[in-house]
Structure 1
Amino acid sequence: MANTGLQVMGLILGVAGWAFGILVCAGPWWRVSAFVGDELVVSQVLWEGLWMTCLSQWGRLQCKVYDSGLALSGSAQMCRGLCVLSLLLCLLALPLSVTGLKCTRCLGDAHETKARLVQVGAALFVLAAFFFFLPVCWTAYVVIRDFYDPNVAAPLKRELGPALYLGWGVTILMLVGGALLYLGSASPGVPALPVFGRGPKGNPPSTAESKPEKEVDLSHREAVPDSARAIGCS
């Protein structure tokens, strides 16, 4: 059914967004060194992420985790917290959505309860997309602002890393997945059982409507002999 198809598609998109979100959050490709000065060595590329930095030189990649998270700037700590919160919301939405799917038998025939579970899971996916969108956009804003700031030294300028573009894609996956889950649970085809429950109550009116037809037929049958008698008498 279309209802089940929307729910399954939304769940797949939500899980895909959650999986790629883990890669984006843990990867060091948020910011990359910009070659805007003559003193920079073009053979070295510096990658910076939320948890580590990596230096690529002549095909070698050396990564180092930050020594202290408290030593980072306030914006970096905020981005860390929002990304982790977004991934935790997706982790919570996943079992709720799976339990409430129409094609599963976790709660039996409790269609209303299962629909509410799917709607809660959809809301969590949408909220996770919002929380993941904030750190990606804020990091992009800071990178662009520092790049065009003449007071920032050339070795400190950065460019947008591929993780930011992937982060926007993750946001879209979570948002679309949550929307499809909600639309699938709010489909008009779900409350089908109450319609069949009112079927027996509708039978008496149909029998009541058939009685006048029988009366008409009987009166017509009685009218025929009277007419025949009238013709015979004449």
Structure 2
Amino acid sequence: MASKGVQIVCVALGVLGLIGVIVCCAVPRWKVSSFVGSNIVTAQSSQEGLWTTCVVQSTGQQQCKNYDSLLVLASDLQAARAMTIISAMLSGLSLLILFCGADFTTCIENEDAKPKISLVAGIGLLLAGLLVIIPVSWSAHNIVREFNSPLVLASQKKEMGACIFIGWAAGVLLLIAGGLLCCFSRPGSGSSGGTAKYYSNSASAPNKNYV
């Protein structure tokens, strides 16, 4: 069974990963304007996220607009929406399961069931980490491909925003937490299943006849 220290570390990593996934999902910083080549006008810059696109003026004013329709979005953006939401829900549920099956809580008193519950929580955190790493890596690949494409104008090129790196960090934290739980949360073998009992019959030893 995982020690209390390992479980506490996994809880901390899971909470940090969950916060990162929420920030990655909510903040519109997946794509930002790239000022390269002839695009040296820095009076305003654009920022794109999963839900809104924003224009930031040099004076600090920011105007954001929601996307008109889900059907007109790119496939990677549609997948990123679904995966990040599922990742946040799955990581939150896994943390609740981990709290119930942890050694430092008394929600469940059955010691044999706690390792299994912690193992389920670890698998959930692993899946949550993969669900956030896949969309940010997909978006990063598309951004780099469009940036290096000669068919895209310099004024239309984008760079990776902060949410891409936050998503990678959150995914790694969730993978580490889930991996530690899966490695240390193994049910132990029972110690009372094959106990042998011996009885002494010295008091009732049979009489021996000597010839």
- Match in the other structure for 1:130: 130
- Taking a change above 3 Å as real, the CA distance of residues 148 and 116 of structure 1, as seen in their structure-2 partners, is same
Task: Tell whether 2:81 aligns with 1:80.
Answer: yes
Shift of 1:61: 2.0
C-alpha distance after superposition, 1:32-58 (max 9, x if no partner) = 111124355212111111111121112
Shift of 1:15: 1.5
Structure with the greater alpha carbon radius of gyration: 1
Report matched runs for 1:24-103 at 5 Å.
Answer: 24-38=24-38, 40-58=40-58, 59-103=60-104
- Tell me if the contact between 1:24 and 1:167 (Cα under 8 Å) persists in the aligned partners: yes
- Tell me if the contact between 2:116 and 2:186 (Cα under 8 Å) persists in the aligned partners: no
**3-state SS, counterpart of residue 3 of structure 2:** helix
- Tell me if the contact between 1:13 and 1:173 (Cα under 8 Å) persists in the aligned partners: yes
Shift of 1:113: 1.3
Which is worse superposed, 79-88 or 125-134?
A: 79-88
Structure 1 unaligned segments of length 5 or more: list them: 212-234
Structure 2 unaligned segments of length 5 or more: list them: 203-211
- Match in the other structure for 2:155: 155
Q: Distance in 1 between matches of 2:169 and 2:27?
A: 15
- Match in the other structure for 1:219: none
Shift of 1:31: 0.8
Q: Distance in 2 between matches of 1:40 and 1:51?
A: 27
- Match in the other structure for 1:218: none
Report matched runs for 1:1-234 at 5 Å.
Answer: 3-38=3-38, 40-58=40-58, 59-108=60-109, 110-186=110-186, 194-195=190-191, 197=192, 201=196, 204=198
Higher helix share: 1
Q: Distance in 2 between matches of 1:12 and 1:145?
A: 36
Shift of 1:201: 5.0
Q: Distance in 2 between matches of 1:176 and 1:154?
A: 39
- Tell me if the contact between 1:45 and 1:57 (Cα under 8 Å) persists in the aligned partners: yes
Shift of 1:100: 0.5
**3-state SS, counterpart of residue 70 of structure 1:** helix
Residue type of the alignment partner of 1:120: V
Q: Distance in 2 between matches of 1:6 and 1:84?
A: 27
C-alpha distance after superposition, 1:44-84 (max 9, x if no partner) = 11111111112111222222222222221222111111111
- Match in the other structure for 1:222: none
Where in structure 1 do 4 or more consecutive aligned residues deviate above 4 Å? none
Q: Distance in 2 between matches of 1:106 and 1:64?
A: 45
Report the RMSD for the aligned CA atoms in angstroms: 2.4
- Tell me if the contact between 1:122 and 1:178 (Cα under 8 Å) persists in the aligned partners: yes
**TM-score, normalising length from structure 1?**
0.77
- Tell me if the contact between 2:115 and 2:185 (Cα under 8 Å) persists in the aligned partners: yes
**3-state SS, counterpart of residue 38 of structure 2:** coil
Q: How many residues align?
A: 201
Q: Distance in 2 between matches of 1:21 and 1:89?
A: 11
